[in-house]
Amino acid sequence: MACKNRNYLKVLDLKKEILRLKKEKNAVILAHYYQVPEIQDVADYVGDSLGLSQKAAETDADIIVFAGVHFMAETAKILNPDKTVVLPDLNAGCSLADSCPPEAFKAFKEQHPDHLVITYINCSAEIKAMSDIVCTSSNALKIVESVPKEIPIIFAPDKNLGHYISKVSGRDLVLWDGSCIVHEAFSIDKLLKLYKEHPGSKIIAHPESEAHILDAANYIGSTAGMINYVKTHPQEKFIVATEAGILHKMQQEVPNTLLIPAPAEEDNTCACSECAFMKVNTLQKLYDCLLNESPQIDVPEPIRKKALLPIERMLELSK
């Protein structure tokens, strides 16, 4: 008990110091839904990739503390070249971004020279610089449908999101063979068994999940879309097929609703799917990076300028 008390007091002290430093340095803390609860609780804004990009584009803060993964902080730096952008831990990478190496994608793009390139925001600055439009899971369908049907499209890097958008839009998309290990970890057998244990529950899923998971879902949407869906059905029970970090903010929005994480293939302590990259950020690391203004995110200016255009097109189309 004494140990728990000390940990609790340490968290309280860290939060107090973070708030003090944030005011002193004119900083803003942007956090993704998949971050640990104590980081979400101290953030100025918690959201999905689209919301975070919009907030990064409009902030007047001098320092952006990005509690997420590397490509998210890169996006903030691309939008804010004159601001200091820090990430609590540079090891906060992304399996999906890693699945699309720039040199390999360059060669892939050259094989389809007449195609317009739409890339999911979960990719590196180098990939964004080779793109025509960036999208998120919130706006991918809208952006694909904004392209005239006679123009062929490359969609990268997430093949599962691409398959889903192709199915819903009726458009043939040339897909890069990339995926997110977190969203491919769900077990359909365990999911259906869990559904039987909770009759009447609704399955909601992120479109990065594989087709057999999406086929079983009652609702498919981005993290923000999933939260909005449960808010409009507060008396329902939900099985949630995305990274388990979303449950913190979701439960705050619907405190009396039963939320059950969808199970992963691998047996683990949480009976869910968690992103190890997202979880490397901690409250202590957030405090340290704000205090020291390090580690900073830098994007070479030639790449930044090229990557900015497709991001700006996305933000304009998302209005």
Annotated binding site for [4Fe-4S] cluster: 94, 180, 275
Residue 192 near residue 165, CB atoms below 8 Å:
no
Q: Which residues are annotated as a binding site?
A: 32, 49, 94, 120-122, 137, 180, 206-208, 223, 275
Question: Parallel, antiparallel, or unpaired: how do β-strands 45-47 and 63-67 relate?
Answer: unpaired
Q: Which residues are annotated as a binding site for iminosuccinate?
A: 32, 49, 120-122, 137, 206-208, 223
Which residues make Cβ contacts (< 8 Å) with residue 71, sequence separation at least 6? 94, 97, 121, 122, 123, 124, 125
User: How remote is the C-alpha of 129 from its chain's centroid?
Assistant: 19
Rounded CA separation 157/106 (Å): 12
Which residues make Cβ contacts (< 8 Å) with residue 193, sequence separation at least 6? none
Question: Among all chains, which residue has been given the structure tokens 């979960």?
Answer: 122
Instruction: Give ∠ CA 289-126-223 in degrees, rounded to 5.
Output: 65
